[in-house]
Structure 1
Amino acid sequence: MGNMVIVTHWLDGDVIPFVRIGKELKQRGHDVTLITHCHFEKVAREAGLDFRAWDTPEEYALLVEEMKGNKTDNSKENSYSFENSEFKQRYESNETRLKEFNIIAECCKRKDTVLLCKNRSSIAAYLVAEKFKLPLATVMMNPAEIESMLLYEQLEGKNDLPRLNELRSAVNLSSVGSWLQWESSAKKTFALWPNWYDTASEEWPSKIEAVGFPLEKGKEETKKEVPEKFKVWLKKNPNPVVITGGTTKCINDKFYSSSISACGMSGKPTVVLTRYKEFLPKKLPDNVVWYDYLPLDMIMPKLGLIIHHGGMGTLSGALSAGIPQLILPCYVDRPHNANLINKLGVGDFLYPVNWQPDKILSMMNNLQDDQIKNNCMKYVLKMKNNVGITNIADRVEEMAKDKKYIYSINSQYKIPVKLSGEHTSNNSQPKIKDLNQRLSNEQRARLLVNLRRREESRR
C-alpha cells in the first residue's frame, strides 16, 4: 500500500473534500497524511488520517479574521483584507513556502509516496514533487479557479516569475520561463465537479479530468446527529427555508440581515445557520431560529429552499437534495457558481447591489415555480451517479503504480488561445491591467461571469 500525502490550505471548503478523499484512501489500506491548518486536526484524526499542521490555533484564528473579505481601514478603496501586502507576506511569501516545503518533505521520504494537493496555494508541494521525483496530482476546487489563474498569468505572470525562480533556486531547482507552464505541469489534474456542471476545464493548458463533486454517500458517509430540539421544531415547521453563508467569515455584511428580513416578511419558517452569531441582527423575526451548527447534508432533503453564499459544498448538497437555491454571491468563485446554478434551472441569484429584502422575497417566491422544482428532481437523478470521492481515489491509486505521473515541467506546453494574442492585441494589455487594478473582487468575479457567457454564446 502507498504513502499518500495530501496538502491544502485555507478554510472548510478547501479542506473537508480532502479529508473525505483521504478517508477513502485510508479505508483502502493506504497510509494517509493530511497537511493543513491545525483547526482540522480533529476531523482528520476522526477520519483515521495522520496529520501535520501549518500553524498554531492563534495563527489560524488570525487567518479566519483576515479572510473576512471586509475592506481594511488603511487600504485602497477596492482592496480587501486578503489582498493586502501583510496577508501575502504572512501566507504567500517565499519564506512561508520554504517552511511548508520542509514540512511536506518530512512526510515524503518513502519511495511509494504520491502527493495530492490543492492547486495554486500548494506551491511547496509542487517543489517537493519535482525535487524528489514524486507523482503529483493537483485539484481544482471550482471552475472559477481556472479562469482566475489564466487571468493571473495574463496580468501578473511575468511579474511573479522572478519571485518563483528565487524560490526554486532556494531548493536547488532550475529557473522556469513561464508561471503558467509551471503551474499546469502536473501529470494529473482533477476537477471536483462533473462535466455537466461546467466545461471550463477545456481552457487549461493541460488535460483536466472532472471526477464529480466530493460528497460522501453510502459507506463513505460520516453520520452526524441532528439535535433533538431541531427535530421537534422541524416536525412543526415542514419545508423550512435555510439561510447559510457557509463556514467562512468571508461574507458581505448585508448577507444575513437582508435575507433574514426577507424571510421575516415571508412568514415562512426559517433556520439561520452560522457559527458567527455576531453577523446576525440582535432580534430575529418570530418565524426565524438560529443554530450555530446542523449537519446540513442530512437536513437538506427536508427543506423547501436554501439561501446561500454560492460555495461548492452547499450548492452540490442542494443539487443532491433536490431543493431550489437562491444564491447571494460575493467574492472569489461564488458569482461564477451562481451563474452556473441559474443555467441549470435549479436556482437564481442576486448581486449585492440588489440585496433588498423585497427583491429577495420576490425571488424566493419565483423559485417555487413548478418548472424549477422539476429541474431540481432531474438533477437529483444525475447526482445519484456522482461518485467523486471514489473516482479520485481510484486515479490516485493508479498514479502510485506508474512512473509517468512523476512531476516534471511540461516540455509540450502551449500558450492557451486566450493568452496567445488571437483575441487581444499587445496594445490593449496596459488597459486590461489598469482596469483589473480598479476592479473590486466582486467586480472581477462578475466580469469573469460575463466573459464566460459571451464565449459560450459564440459556440
Structure 2
Amino acid sequence: MAIGTHGDVLPFIALGHRLLARGHGVTLAAPAPFEAMARRAGLFFQPLGTAADYEAVIGQPELWHPRWGFRPMFDFAMGVAETTCLWLGATRARGVEQIVVASPLAWGARLAQELYDIPSATLHVMPFLIESRSDPPGLPGLPLPRILPASWRAWLNQGADKMAVGPFTLPPLNALRQRLGLDPVIRLRHWWNSPTRMLLMFPDWYAAPQADWPAQAVQLGFPLVDRFGDVPAMAPELEAFLAAGDAPLVFTYGSAMRQGAPFFATALAICRRTGRRAVLLAPQDGQIPKPLPPGIIQLPYAPLSALLPRSAALIHHGGVGTVAQALAAGIPQLVVPVAFDHFDEGRRLKDRTLGATLSRRAFRPARAARILGRLLNDPAVAHACAQAKARMAKSPDPIIAACDRVEELAFLAVERGSAPKATRASRR
C-alpha cells in the first residue's frame, strides 16, 4: 500500500513483482493512476480514491509550497484511511493470510495493523522521514545553518512538526481512531512507523545509521525501479538524439509537477549560454516553450536508468528516486528543490561532493550555468560521482533484500499465531 507520486509508488510495484515471482499473491493498493503500471507488473490492484481525486491533489499549487506542501497529500491520505483499513479487515475476515508493506502515508494500513493484528512493515524510500537527534533531516521551508548543534536542529524540527503538522493532521486522525475504538496519536511521525518492521530503502553511505533510529529499522539500499514506470524503454527519437551528438544535460522537475514552466524556460536559457544539448522531461503539456531550438528534445517520460549513463549532468527537483538514478549513472546533479524531501536530498548530495543546490529564486541562467560548469569540470566531483557509481554497482539488490525481510515477517506471524487460523492449520 503506497500513497504518493512515482518515486513513492514504483518501489512498491518492484517489490510486489519480485514477491509474485517467489510465488506469493500480491495486490498493490495505490492511487488510481498507478493501475496500469501495477497490472503490467502482474499485480492485482486496489485503487485508493479515483483518478480525479488524485489529479485534484497533484494539480494544487499548494502541493509545491515548501512549508505547506504536505497538506494536500495528507488530506488525500486521511480521505482514504478508513476505507482501506476496513478493506484490509474484511479481507482478513475471509481467512486470507496477509502481510502488509506500507508507505508512511498509508495510514489505513497502520490502523488495520492495530485493529486486526495484521503483520505489517513500513517502507521508507527516503531518509527525510526518519527522525534523529544526532542527524536531523533538513526540513523544507526551514533552512537551519549547519553550524547549529544537531540537537538544536532536531529540537527546532520537532517544534515545526508540532506547530505545522500536528494541528492539521491529528484532529481528524484521532477522531477516526476514536470511532474505531483506538487511543489517540500524539506524534504522527512516530505513529506511522510499524512497531514490528521498518524497511529503509537507502544505503548507509548516503544516510549513515543513527543510534536513535527505531530498533525495528533495517537499512537496505536504493531501489532502481524505473523499468516499472510509464515507459520501460527509450523512445526511438531519443535514441537517435543521443547518438547524434555530445552527452546532453537532462532537465526534469518530477512526474507530478504542473507548474514547471519557469524551470524549463531557465533550462533553455542555460543551454543557449553553454551551447550544450539537452533533454527536457515534462509529462504535462504547456510547461515548455515551443518550438524548441536545435539540440533540444522534449519527451513526457524516459527511463532514467537508460538515459542518464549517456548524459553529462542532471538538473532536477531533488526527488529521491531521481537522485538514486543519477548516483547509479555517476553524473553530477544540480538540485532546485521545491518541497518535501527535496531540500534534504540536495543537502546530502552537496555534503558528499556529488552535486549542488540552488533555490528556485536563485535558479537563473547565468548563475546556474556557472555552477554546472564547476560541477562538470571539478575533479573532486568527478571522483565522488565515480565512487557513488561503483558503490551502487556492487550493492546487493535491495528489492531482493526487502523480499527476504517480508517473508521473514510472514514466517514470524505464523509462529506467533497472528495469521488467520485457517492459514495456520494449512501450514501444519
TM-score with structure 1 length normalisation? 0.77
**1:215 alignment partner, one of 213, 224, 230:** 224
Question: 276-285 or 33-42, which moves further after superposition?
Answer: 276-285
Unaligned runs of 5+ in 2: 132-138, 140-156, 419-428
Within 5 Å, give how 1:163-312 maps onto structure 2. Answer: 163-175=172-184, 179=188, 181-199=190-208, 202-216=211-225, 224-249=232-257, 253-312=261-320
User: What secondary structure does 2:101 align onto?
Assistant: strand
User: What secondary structure does 1:43 align onto?
Assistant: helix
Q: Which residue of structure 2 aligns with residue 19 of structure 1?
A: 13
Q: Which amino acid aligns with 2:71?
A: E
Q: Which residue of structure 2 aligns with residue 365 of structure 1?
A: 373
The 3 A distance-change label for structure 1 pair 200 and 281 is: farther
Q: Which amino acid aligns with 1:191?
A: L
User: What secondary structure does 1:69 align onto?
Assistant: helix
**2:87 alignment partner, one of 103, 106, 116:** 103
**Does structure 1 conserve the Cα–Cα contact (< 8 Å) formed by 2:120 and 2:194?**
no
**Does structure 2 conserve the Cα–Cα contact (< 8 Å) formed by 1:347 and 1:372?**
yes
**1:375 alignment partner, one of 359, 384, 389:** 384
1:351 is aligned to 2:339: no
Matches of 2:311 and 2:91 in 1, distance apart? Answer: 43
**Does structure 1 conserve the Cα–Cα contact (< 8 Å) formed by 2:284 and 2:300?**
yes
**1:388 alignment partner, one of 387, 398, 415:** 398
**1:83 alignment partner, one of 62, 71, 74:** 71
**Does structure 2 conserve the Cα–Cα contact (< 8 Å) formed by 1:258 and 1:355?**
yes
Q: Deviations over 1:37-79 (max 9, x none)?
A: 11111111111111110122322222221266357xxxxxx87
**Does structure 2 conserve the Cα–Cα contact (< 8 Å) formed by 1:318 and 1:324?**
yes
**Does structure 2 conserve the Cα–Cα contact (< 8 Å) formed by 1:142 and 1:191?**
yes
User: What secondary structure does 2:234 align onto?
Assistant: coil
Instruction: Give the drift of 1:179.
Output: 4.6
**Does structure 2 conserve the Cα–Cα contact (< 8 Å) formed by 1:9 and 1:118?**
yes
Q: Deviations over 1:157-211 (max 9, x none)?
A: 7645554332223223344565555334521111110011013654445442211
The 3 A distance-change label for structure 1 pair 40 and 378 is: same
User: What secondary structure does 1:394 align onto?
Assistant: helix
Matches of 2:123 and 2:412 in 1, distance apart? Answer: 19
RMSD: 3.0
1:398 is aligned to 2:408: yes
1:54 is aligned to 2:72: no
User: What secondary structure does 1:345 align onto?
Assistant: coil
Matches of 2:57 and 2:166 in 1, distance apart? Answer: 28
Matches of 2:63 and 2:246 in 1, distance apart? Answer: 35
Matches of 2:288 and 2:340 in 1, distance apart? Answer: 23
Q: Deviations over 1:87-141 (max 9, x none)?
A: 765x244x6422222233344444531110001x111111111111111100222
Instruction: Give the drift of 1:375.
Output: 1.7
**Does structure 1 conserve the Cα–Cα contact (< 8 Å) formed by 2:10 and 2:225?**
no
Q: Which amino acid aligns with 2:203?
A: P
**Does structure 2 conserve the Cα–Cα contact (< 8 Å) formed by 1:68 and 1:251?**
no
Matches of 1:250 and 1:146 in 2, distance apart? Answer: 28
Instruction: Give the drift of 1:238.
Output: 2.7
Instruction: Give the drift of 1:338.
Output: 0.8
Unaligned runs of 5+ in 1: 1-6, 72-77, 408-459
**Does structure 1 conserve the Cα–Cα contact (< 8 Å) formed by 2:129 and 2:189?**
no
**Does structure 1 conserve the Cα–Cα contact (< 8 Å) formed by 2:28 and 2:43?**
yes
Question: 333-342 or 143-152, which moves further after superposition?
Answer: 143-152
1:124 is aligned to 2:108: yes
1:134 is aligned to 2:118: yes
User: What secondary structure does 1:282 align onto?
Assistant: coil
Q: Which amino acid aligns with 2:100?
A: L
TM-score with structure 2 length normalisation? 0.82
Matches of 1:151 and 1:251 in 2, distance apart? Answer: 30
Matches of 1:97 and 1:126 in 2, distance apart? Answer: 9
**Does structure 2 conserve the Cα–Cα contact (< 8 Å) formed by 1:300 and 1:321?**
yes
Q: How many residues were matched structurally?
A: 389
Matches of 1:99 and 1:59 in 2, distance apart? Answer: 15
Q: Which residue of structure 1 aligns with residue 60 of structure 2?
A: 66
